Structure 1
């Protein structure tokens, strides 16, 4: 039986892979250009790339992707950029969760297909903010939707960086729907909140999920706009501070904030839970965790 969404799936998967290539190229170029500051004498970082696989229920091919991780660079202490395209049947727990969200037909048919890109960067310089970005497409026999977003996570906040980051995201959202930015900013503020600490994970950004307006082309175009906005939103914040000197106290502040980031990703993050519950490569799912963190 022909899959009526075959073309859309191929286009979405190819787009996420292309975005991955753009970002990894830009990040390695930034490593090469880091010729000043405390880490200038270190070797320029490079991504180590490995294939990932989803563990299927019966051992058959269930897709996978690429995990690209850079460690110990001049600019990036650890950054991961993952892409994947996976399919199969949801485990009962994940199927139940999808049904509870109101996904049509999920109670009776656990088949799914998902593709996306996920990125988390932890920086050498405490004055440079950590960042998260992801975009994805999800399909079941009864529905399809897009989701994703980007959010800034500085341990030492510079209000001008926060304002510029949000302005770039707003410029990406507005042509698609003037209400999108405010709506998705509010969603990010709610989603990236750490209840047990009573505070936000960072300074926000945008977050959206279950986006299905009935117009696949329009929703895909918006998701592409979110992905394209990432580098223009984020790189200027790194450029502004990558040569700044830092103190032991600044490093301590960074490590404590990373502890907060790790707590959120392990306890609340929807993508972490989904990846582990659906059998995706655990190292790829958990690549968002920082290389070093501290709790007080």
Structure 2
């Protein structure tokens, strides 16, 4: 496969930036709706960079992080576009997992995406994760992504709402797709050493290459666009609920599970660190405070 995807790459990276801007605006509005003496939280934005082994330009992105807001204890919405040559470990992992021949002969890659993780002040408000991405090599391209809800105090109606919005995003692309991606998420967001899921699930997909780039991109945009209607009503519903120290203890212990998963199993964390991306951006998903016993 020759590199005929410059237009498609620009469309994908441009969409991820547009989605980031929309989400940041919505999160600022959430902060403004929450009363309190403290100032409403705002995202701090800084550039991130990736360093190639030979010191050449390898891309980067922008890290948008809010700490200590009225609604969000910590939330990050990162975008990145990185490129270069995969190292031997990444080449081997890619070839083994995705069955892509020729990676050793031509290990160039390009990847762009958006990654979001929100940890909330109120223990009744659920933490949440979302990401979508496009990956290109001279041998194949694919999309991946998904979103999953991570409440420490579960509410059945919140879970039902979140999954309904994810299903709404999937349905135009196949009547069985939601069930397939929900099952994939249930398997992927599982913590084997704890023998439990890290949350109440959502959808997940990777290696998405149906041969129809526009169709797969449309699915990816649909998943990204579904995030705000899936999550913001839940944050609005829970952000002013009373809570006590026992609730906070439950939240901190649940965050410990989240940290364990992201450090031990998450593919995005491993890929980001192995390919030399800014470690602060890669580890943005970690909670500000957590507890273990």
TM-score (norm. length: structure 1): 0.97
Q: Name the counterpart of 1:238.
A: 235
Checking the alignment, whether the CA contact within 8 Å between 1:147 and 1:207 is kept in structure 2 is yes
Measure how far apart 1:109 and its partner are.
1.6
CA-CA distance at 1:42 after TM superposition? 1.7
Tell me the distance in 2 between the aligned counterparts of 1:45 and 1:252.
Answer: 24
**Offset of residue 119 of structure 1:** 0.2
Q: Does 1:97 align with 2:90?
A: no
Could you tell me how far apart the structure 1 residues matched to 2:192 and 2:113 are? 27
1:15 maps to 2:15: yes
For residues 158-213 of structure 1, give each alpha carbon's deviation from its aligned partner in whole angstroms, at most 9, with x where no partner exists. 00000010001001100111111000000000000000000000000000000000
Is 2:168 the partner of 1:171?
A: yes
Alignment gaps of 5+ in structure 1: none
Q: CA deviation at 1:105?
A: 2.2
Match of residue 70 from structure 2: 74
Alignment of 1:1-296 (within 5 A): 3-35=3-35, 40-101=36-97, 102-296=99-293
Deviation of the 1:68 alpha carbon: 0.4
Count residues with an aligned counterpart.
Answer: 291
CA–CA distance in structure 1, aligned partners of residues 54 and 163 of structure 2: 45
CA–CA distance in structure 2, aligned partners of residues 277 and 3 of structure 1: 24
User: Unaligned stretches of 5+ in structure 2?
Assistant: none
> Does the 8 A contact of 2:3 with 2:138 survive in 1?
no
Cα distance in structure 1, aligned partners of 2:94 and 2:79 = 22
- For the residue of structure 2 that corresponds to 1:252, the secondary structure is helix
For 1:232 and 1:104, the matched residues in 2 are separated by 40
Following superposition, the deviation at residue 108 of structure 1 comes to: 2.1
C-alpha contact (below 8 Å) 1:104/1:143 kept by paired residues: no
Distance 2:182 2:20 in 1: 24
Distance 1:68 1:27 in 2: 11
Instruction: State the alpha-carbon separation in 2 of the partners of residues 164 and 147 from structure 1.
Output: 23
Whole-Å Cα distance in 2 between the matches of residues 104 and 96 of structure 1? 10
Distance in 1, matches of 2:232 and 2:101, equals: 40
Distance across 1 between alignment mates of 2:9 and 2:43: 27
Question: SS of the counterpart of 1:287?
Answer: helix
The one-character-per-residue Cα deviations of 1:19-59 (angstroms, maximum 9, x if unpaired) are 00000010011101112xxxx22211010100000011111
CA distance in 2, matches of 1:4, 1:94: 23
